[in-house]
Amino acid sequence: MTPFGEAVRRLRRQKGVSQKQMAAAIGVSPAYLSALEHGKRGAPSFEFLQRVAGYFNVIWDDADALFGLAALSDPKVVLDTSGLPATHTAFANRLAGRIRSLSGETIRILEDVLEKARFPDKEL
């Protein structure tokens, strides 16, 4: 499952609608919606995101957060390390080889490291 798929499922359940009902309302097939929720499809289009936000009457800030989740939800990530030092390439490959075995706690630790690298002067 992807972060976006998880969010859509949560919104759909809060509204009390099935995948079939939601799919019909936003103009996609139930199979597509199911694949999206289960992380078997790539990141959705902007048009699709707008239809989802409209369907759930999501306010601007929440829609922005939903769109951000969609950007982080491509289940088949490709990292281009060409032109980077060999250590970067090795790290990317090690991560790819071990991602399935990392615990939730390890993922949280790595996310914290990435945030600190993004904002080195900010106290997190």
Give per-residue pLDDT as tens, 28-70: 999 999 999 898 887 888 999 999 999 999 888 888 899 988 8
Q: Are 110 and 63 in the same domain?
A: no
The CA distance from 33 to 114, in Å, is 31
Whether 36 and 91 share a structural domain? no
Give, as one character, the DSSP assignment of residue 43: P
Decide if 7 contacts 66 (C-beta within 8 A): yes
Answer yes or no: do 92 and 32 share one domain: no
Check pLDDT > 70 for residue 123.
no
CB 17 within 8 A of CB 9: no
Residue 58 lies in a domain: yes
The domain tally of the chain equals 2
Q: Is residue 53 part of a domain?
A: yes
Is there a single domain that holds both residue 61 and residue 110?
A: no
**Alpha-carbon gap, residue 49 to 64, rounded angstroms:** 10
Residue 81, domain member (yes or no) = no
Answer for the pair 74, 44: CB distance below 8 angstroms, yes or no. no
Give tens-digit pLDDT for 65-90.
999 888 888 878 888 999 999 999 99
Would the pTM count as exceeding 0.85? Answer: no
Range of the domain at 12: 3-71
> Does 120 score more than 90 pLDDT?
no
Q: Which of 96, 94, 91 is nearest to 77 (CA)?
A: 96
